[in-house]
Amino acid sequence: MSEPRSSVAAGDPTENRSVRDLVRAAISGWLGTALEFMDYQLYSLAAALVFADLFFSNEDPAMAVVAAMATYGVGYVARPVGAFFFARLGDKTGRTKVLFYTILLMGLSTTLIGFLPTYSQVGLLAPILLVLLRIAQGFGAGAEISGAGVMLAEYAPAKRRGIIASLVALGTNCGTLLASALWAGLLLAFSEDEVIAWAWRIPFIGSVVIMLFAVWVRFNLKESPIFEERDDVVDGKALTKQETIALATETGNLRTLEAMNRKPIKAFSIALLLRFGQAGNSGLVQTYLISYITVVLLLDRSIGVNAVIVSSLVAFITVPLSGWLGDRYGRKRMYMVWAIIALIIIVPTMLMIHSKDTALVFVGYVVLHNLAVMSFASLENLTLPELFGARNRYTYTAMAREIAAIVATGAGPVIAAAWVSAATGSFIPIIIMLGVFTLCALVASIWMPEVAGRDLTDPRDAI
């Protein structure tokens, strides 16, 4: 009979790190995630506002928007490849080296977008170069937020993981806010012609400043204490499967032997469904709805951008609150609560947005974004690492995130754009898609075990 799974580690390895180490890890995760989401929000807003004119033929405006959204989705195709490559490396050699590589690749790709020629200058070469940089950006980003979440989960004390790991979600919020503020500033400071002609390049080129600071922080970051305490890590490097089994047999380590003989099918399926809920809603709300407000509802470009800014400011309350509630009441219960609330508010908030009344558009967007996207994001960054065992935590977390992201966040906005266009501007397709994605999270929350405070040195999955 296998030994029971402990909910909390005896002799918490995180005690081997000082408060200063924890702060540095938190800043590292926050910076990397902020840069990732700033990069993607810069692109998603550019795709919604100007890229259809700059990089694609403008003979059919509706199809140009679909093409711009499709290029947005290309980055998500590259993400699982990058996730598999970098996350496996992170499980074998440690988190810090991988997080250094991912932020460098991701940041350089974003900066280079600011130097691209446009369709009017070089024709088809323009979208081709844009797609190549999106692929490189996605390859680096594929393991970034997963690595930041794993790193913070493995650094934080067991009873405070939710509130500390919510800093990763705050990084997404900060990146979204900064990108949106930059775009709002551009639209305020320059005319529409100037923005399309050259000013759109400013935020992409300027992102290099954050990248350089994040690289400096990560260069001095200590390795995860959980990684160093793993049963299969010797001299800072993971043993092969055969070596791990041999060592576990020799030492009588039953939990490692059990872990090596189990498949992560249940844990991985739950992670996928949880991710569908957050990623799907994120793609629709943070990417497509901005285009919908501008192109379909024909409202001023600044309204969508400003709504994102206001919502991101509100999320500074939503995100840590969700993380704290997850620590206090458990991940399972809070996922269920947020999913039910999200299902209830989808129709009312979409009616507000469709009303075209500026105040109602703002309220509808802020409520939908915070309750159907950011509440899940706060829990997700911690829950996914807690679902998996120590040996392959980074790999399974990253793959679950990115496989779901291809379908949900990558394809979601493209499907929504095409479906709404076919439905002559109806918002019903958006309601249906939001409902399906949110139901995925609800089903997963009912199925999953409670993982709050789990021993992260345990090589076995939570289910």
Rounded Cα gap, residues 263 and 267, in angstroms: 9
Largest CA distance in the chain: 72
* φ, ψ of residue 229 in degrees (nearest 5): -95, 0
Assess whether pLDDT exceeds 90 at residue 426: no
β-bridge pairing 233-234 and 237-238: antiparallel
DSSP characters for 213-239?
Answer: HHHHHHHTPPPPHHHHT-TTEETTEEP
Q: Helix 95-113 to helix 144-155 angle, to the nearest 10 degrees?
A: 140
Return the higher-pLDDT residue of 37 and 249: 249
* φ, ψ of residue 37 in degrees (nearest 5): -80, -25
The model's confidence at residue 423, banded by pLDDT at 50, 70 and 90, is confident
Assess whether pLDDT exceeds 90 at residue 44: no
* pLDDT single digits (tens) 289-299: 888 888 888 88
Residue 105 is encoded by which pair of tokens? Answer: 């690749």
Rounded Cα gap, residues 59 and 119, in angstroms: 13
List the beta bridge partners of residue 233. Answer: 238
Cβ contact 223:236 at 8 Å: yes
Cβ contact 6:458 at 8 Å: yes
Region 72-90 average pLDDT: 85
Cβ contact 101:38 at 8 Å: no
Rounded Cα gap, residues 409 and 113, in angstroms: 21
Whether the CA torsion 213, 215, 220, 223 is positive or negative: it is positive
Cβ contact 143:81 at 8 Å: no
**What's the confidence (pLDDT) of residue 1?**
35
DSSP characters for 35-87?
Answer: HHHHHHHHHHHHIIIIIHHHHS--SSHHHHHHHHHHHHHHHHHHHHHHHHHHH
Assess whether pLDDT exceeds 80 at residue 149: yes
Alpha helices in 114-224 (DSSP H): 119-122, 125-141, 144-155, 161-189, 192-194, 201-206, 208-219
DSSP characters for 282-304?
Answer: HIIIIIIHHHIIIIIS---HHHH
* pLDDT single digits (tens) 176-194: 778 878 888 888 888 888 8
DSSP characters for 334-398?
Answer: HHHHHHHHHHHHHHHHHHHHHT--HHHHHHHHHHHHIIIIIHHHHHHHHHHHHHS-STTHHHHHH
The model's confidence at residue 431, banded by pLDDT at 50, 70 and 90, is very high
Q: Which residue has the tokens 């400013």?
A: 202
Residue type, 247: L
Assess whether pLDDT exceeds 90 at residue 195: no
* pLDDT single digits (tens) 335-381: 999 999 999 999 999 999 999 898 999 999 999 999 999 999 999 98
Q: Which residue has the tokens 């998996």?
A: 388
**What's the confidence (pLDDT) of residue 9?**
45
Assess whether pLDDT exceeds 50 at residue 8: no
**What's the confidence (pLDDT) of residue 63?**
61
**What's the confidence (pLDDT) of residue 3?**
39
17-225+239-447: CATH class: mainly alpha
The whole-model pTM stands at: 0.84
| Stretch among 35-39, 258-262, 314-318, 342-346 having the lowest mean pLDDT | 35-39
As a whole number of Å, the CA-based R_g of the chain is: 22
* φ, ψ of residue 236 in degrees (nearest 5): 80, 10
| Stretch among 314-328, 386-400, 405-419 having the lowest mean pLDDT | 405-419
The model's confidence at residue 7, banded by pLDDT at 50, 70 and 90, is very low
Give SS3 for 142: coil
* Burial of residue 457 (number of CB atoms within 10 Å: 0-12, 13-18, 19+): buried
| Stretch among 14-28, 65-79, 178-192 having the lowest mean pLDDT | 65-79
For the chain, the average pLDDT equals 86
**What's the confidence (pLDDT) of residue 412?**
86
Assess whether pLDDT exceeds 80 at residue 14: no
Assess whether pLDDT exceeds 60 at residue 436: yes
Return the higher-pLDDT residue of 434 and 410: 434
* φ, ψ of residue 455 in degrees (nearest 5): -70, 110
For 266, 417, 419, the CA distances from 439, given in Å and listed in that order, are 18, 21, 20
Region 60-76 average pLDDT: 66
The model's confidence at residue 166, banded by pLDDT at 50, 70 and 90, is confident
Q: From 282, 428, 307, 312, select the one nearest 357 (Cα to Cα).
A: 307
